[in-house]
Structure 1
Amino acid sequence: MNSASVLGGRISGHRLAALLGDWRRSRRGATDLASAIELQVLDGHLPVGTQLPAERELADALGASRTLIGSALDRLREGGLVESRRGSGSWITSPQRHRGINPASSDSTDLIDFVCASPSAASGMTRAFDAARVLLADELVSPGYGDRGLPILRERIAARYTERGLPTSPSQIMITNGAHHAFVLALRMLAGPGDRVLVEQPTYANALEAIRAAHAIPVPVALDRDGWDLDGIEATLRQAGPRLAYLIVDFHNPTGLRLDDEGRERLAAMLTASRTPAVIDETLVELDLDGGPAPRPFAAGDWAILVGTSSKAYWGGLRIGWIRASEDLLARLSSARFGLDLGSPVFEQLVLAELLADPEPLRLRREEVRSQRDVLAAAVREHCPEWTFRLPSGGFWLWCALPEPMSTRLAVAAAGHGLQLAPGSRFGAHGGLERWIRLPFSQPPERLREAVRRLALAEAAVRGKSVGGEIQVR
């Protein structure tokens, strides 16, 4: 991994020198060095809390004078990116904290959030912002509105689908404010109060909330450890007559399962035969961690609405997603959209277009997430040996089977140990799933290990078990 591996860890002079690369850009050495270190902080390579090498060590590694190193650190301290204390050295801090703000990302060390399954920004984000800033000049002469999105971004997303085996033109792409926004658009257009919406059981909790908010009725079909119940889906399509289906066939949330080509073909044929539009959520499709042969994108003619997002592969802060659908369906979605919003932010679209043109950020993201997955899996096996799970080949979470129905009680107990958990019932259309818990691996390794340590204490409290020689009382 390119970043300092743990929050609060130390980086050596040689490692920092390698990260900085050719940092000299002018004769203003201290300014250049400070700017180079700042870029590594903003790009996520030097997380908040990283201990910097001593001035002498860094000077030797960079082949620079200690005076230059000291001047660069002075500039970083003035900007709030570095703090120093006599006898303790210097470390990376938050510029917000320097201004008297306590950002949750760097100061909430006592609480670990295992509800949110989104990572920090991917490597290369700052470079993409810098490149987008140059391109923005051409967009400033336009009104800035656009219900379909910028042509350059639509072209690059369409090219991604074509590369994956589903020929797509830019006219089949609409840019949205995230995948969830895309789903809500489709839901608003295709289903109304009292209409049935077919979903998997379990499924993405926020999709269930959106269905209920539209006063529609989620109709669940069970998804077990072995995958999709295609016979059950076929029977539900025939008997319930849903107006819409919402499905996650790539690294399913929360099970992590992936539907194979044969299953996709059969499912597509069912939806086409029943004339049921389906929103296929591809939020996690880019996070293929093991690099095996990937199934083709789901295709069911005019009945498939594929939605994607930048949030997991790059950063949730971009709030840019998209829809891939037939041109006729996109025309209808455009009309429905005006009741919700007037388009997506131009600058963020330019940033995502730059990210899509560079394969390196996504490669580094996959490498990072693969490592975090393996750390979390090892920690669960060590601290919660009675729990079972299938190691997912992609996505951001383990779906763990518990030794007894205790998911809600476990979430309540975990809160007392500074750990926020989403009980299994959140992922069910009508609750239940008390034998299951979702554990995301979207945080640094040390946070993951600490989270599982707390989780084991919470389990012991719920089950009255002994931990470290002490009996935990129910």
Structure 2
Amino acid sequence: MKPIPLPLDELVARLGRWSAGRGPLYLLLAARFRQLIDEGVLVPGALLPPDRRLAGALAVGRTTVVAAYDTLRQEGRLVRRQGSGTRVASAALPPGPRVRETSNPLFLHLLEAPDDVILMSCAAPLDPPPELAEAYRTVTLPPGDLGYHPAGLPVLREAVAERYRARGVPTGPEQVLVTTGAQQGLSLLVRMLVAPGDGVLVEAPTYPGALDLFREAAAVLHPVAVGPDGVDVAGAVAVMERHRPAFAYVVPRFQNPTGSLLPPLAGRRLVEAANGLGVPLVDDEVLTDLAFAPGTPPPSLSSYGEVIGVGSLSKVVWGGLRIGWVRGPAPLIARLARLKAIHDLGSDVPAQRVAAQMLGGFAPIVAARVRALRAGHDHLRAELARLLPSWSCPPAEGGQTLWVRLPHGDGVAFAQVALRHGVAVLPGVTMDALGGSTRRLRLHFLLPPDVLSEAVGRLARAWSEYAPHAAAADPPSPRPAALPAALHAIVV
């Protein structure tokens, strides 16, 4: 049987924090490969990358990869033959039914055992607000309640609907489905609306957890570039006209990862085009409340027409409060509730009651979170300017992340060096279905100031190790053609 090729970027992601332990690098690399093989993640027959390609992606010498491969060959886990490459041996764990597992570094870092690596990869509040603990202390559960509410507790559905009404979007509780976080809400929408081979319009770059869901569903991605003012609406309209995707997924406010903000007129045009073409438009609203500038928040896309909104409390309150929602037409919400019932019979009831209390006094909680985010944003940018002045780091208007550009090199390879210095970052290419953003990193600013300073110090030490090799490997920029003498005078 022909060997199964394994994409290099996926393999590197699955290796995770392989180099963060103690001992020679080749033994650490061999140990992680051994784990992936024994767990069945690397199946018998899987073709591994050539020595030099893997060494380049991991930012190590070729001898490190050769020694790791040879160690596993001697154990019988790998087969290496001249001309046919390196494959997982057939004596390894037999393959079972295959399902697509995440290769997203964002999620894989969360599965690692705790260590001293600073996680700049997962953008979520480190500590819950004091109001959350107080709400749990005072929460009461009514008698005579089975506790199964697939569509959500009525009190919470009404509280979410009221938030939409306060922003000028008429909404009834029957238009709200409570979910176990926004990720579940998006997952349910994908299960309902996307069949294998269907198209999905995505921004490039975008939230990597959404890309995982679309790829698991075997969707065909139609990426549209994101610029300083959000998604290219003209490009998105052209994609919808040409491909009629099963749905379009956008993050219009404080876009993850770029932090861009879609102007209202562009948002209106996007909604009107999607509605006119019959393409369901999914608006990821998770970051909507995190605007640094005071005043009225940007209008919801739902105020312009029929839009499916997905939100949660994870970014304002705490990621451990697994409460999200989907807001849309009542018939769609009813169908989603029946689908959700298959999977979990309903989200956690005490958490829903706590969430309803939190929404009842949401303004001061949001204000406190935004103050902390703005301070973290300014501190991180100042530290990057001080220790890594060659990195491009424009300010954000809100949200939780900076979209950093390296002057040269590759984000995936640099992330490997950064891991060896004790900090995990998210390479831009993992979020870009166009295959771009290779020199980009996503850095969040939710950690305490001293931890952010330590993280940037580690990144600076990693960059000083990596940069000379990256600069030498970069192809030289082409020399511009000579200008005619008449034009030369004008340009100069």
1:362 is matched with which residue?
A: 366
Contact 1:177 1:319 in 2 (8 A): yes
Counterpart CA distance in 2 for 1:309 and 1:425 is 26
Q: Residue in 1 aligned with 2:137?
A: 130
Equivalent AA in structure 2 for residue 207 of structure 1: A
Deviations along 1:403-428, whole A, 9 cap, x unmatched?
Answer: 12421121011011000111111101
What letter is aligned with 2:392?
Answer: T
TM-score of the aligned structures, taking structure 1 as reference length: 0.72
Query: In 2, are the aligned partners of 1:302 and 1:326 still within 8 Å (CA)?
Result: no
Displacement of 1:390 in angstroms is 2.5
TM-score, normalised by the number of residues in structure 2: 0.70
User: 1:352 is matched by which residue type in structure 2?
Assistant: A
Q: Is 2:270 aligned against 1:263?
A: no
1:240 maps to what in 2? 243
CA deviations on 1:215-252 (whole Å, 9 max, x unpaired) are: 11221001123432111111100112211111111111
Give the letter for the 1:420 counterpart: A
The reply to whether residue 115 of structure 1 matches residue 94 of structure 2 is no
Q: Secondary structure at the match of 2:342?
A: coil
Alpha-carbon separation, structure 2, partners of 1:246 and 1:275:
14
Q: Give secondary structure in 1 for the equivalent of 2:270.
A: helix
Q: Is the 8 A contact 1:269 1:300 kept in 2?
A: no
Gaps of 5+ in 2: 1-109, 470-492
After superposition, residues 151-190 of structure 1 pair within 5 angstroms as 151-190=154-193
In 2, Cα distance between the equivalents of 1:217 and 1:362?
A: 37
Measured in 2, the distance between the counterparts of 1:288 and 1:301 equals 20
Counterpart position of 1:219: 222
The separation in 2 between residues aligned to 1:296 and 1:371, in whole angstroms, is: 25
Counterparts of 1:13-52 in structure 2 under 5 Å?
none
**Which residue identity does 1:192 align to in structure 2?**
A
Rounded Cα–Cα distance in structure 1 between residues aligned with 2:183 and 2:304: 22
CA distance in 1, matches of 2:393, 2:222: 26
User: C-alpha deviations, 1:3-42, integer Å up to 9, x for none?
Assistant: xxxxxxxxxxxxxxxxxxxxxxxxxxxxxxxxxxxxxxxx
The within-5 A match list for 1:405-444 is 405-444=409-448
Counterpart among 459, 466, 469 of residue 462 in structure 1: 466
Q: Out of 346, 349, 354, which is 1:351 matched to?
A: 354
Deviation for aligned residue 1:335: 2.5
Q: Tell me if the contact between 1:131 and 1:354 (Cα under 8 Å) persists in the aligned partners.
A: no
Moved over 4 A (4+): 300-303
Aligned to 1:338, what secondary structure does the other structure show? helix
In structure 2, give the amino acid aligned to 1:111.
V
Matched, 1:321 2:321: no
Once residues 344 and 156 of structure 1 are traced to their aligned partners in structure 2, the CA distance between those partners, rounded to angstroms, is 16
Aligned partner of 1:19 in structure 2 is none
- Does residue 207 (structure 1) correspond to residue 232 (structure 2)? The answer is no
Q: Deviations over 1:292-350 (max 9, x none)?
A: 44221112777411010111100111111001111111122123223322111100001
Q: CA deviation at 1:450?
A: 0.8
The one-letter code sitting in structure 1 at the alignment partner of 2:133 is T
CA shift for structure 1 position 194: 0.5
**In structure 2, C-alpha distance between the alignment counterparts of 1:162 and 1:300, rounded to whole Å:** 10
Paired residue type of 1:118: A
Shift of 1:149: 0.8
1:430 deviation in Å?
4.9
Matched, 1:446 2:450: yes
User: Which amino acid counterpart does residue 404 of structure 2 have in structure 1?
Assistant: C
What SS is found at the alignment partner of 1:433?
A: coil
Residue type at the aligned position of 2:203: E
Q: How many pairs are equivalent?
A: 356
Determine helix, strand or coil for the equivalent of 2:119: strand
1:295 and 1:368 map into 2 onto residues whose CA distance is: 20
Letter in 1 for 2:292: L
- Distance in 2 separating the partners of 1:148 and 1:226: 35
Instruction: Extract unaligned runs of 5+ from structure 1.
Output: 1-103, 466-474
Calculate the aligned-residue CA RMSD, in Å: 1.8
Change (3 A) 1:226 1:365: closer
- The alpha carbon displacement at 1:362 in A equals 2.2
Structure 1 counterpart SS, 2:443: strand
Q: CA deviation at 1:108?
A: 5.7
TM-aligned CA deviation for residue 434 of structure 1: 1.0
The change in CA–CA distance for 1:189 and 1:302 in structure 2 (over 3 A counts) is farther
CA contact (8 A) 2:229 2:262 kept: no
Q: 1:165 to 1:291 in 2, by over 3 A?
A: same
- Alpha-carbon distance, 1:377 to partner: 1.1
Query: What letter matches 1:147 in structure 2?
Result: P
Assess if the C-alpha contact under 8 Å between 2:198 and 2:220 holds in 1.
Answer: yes
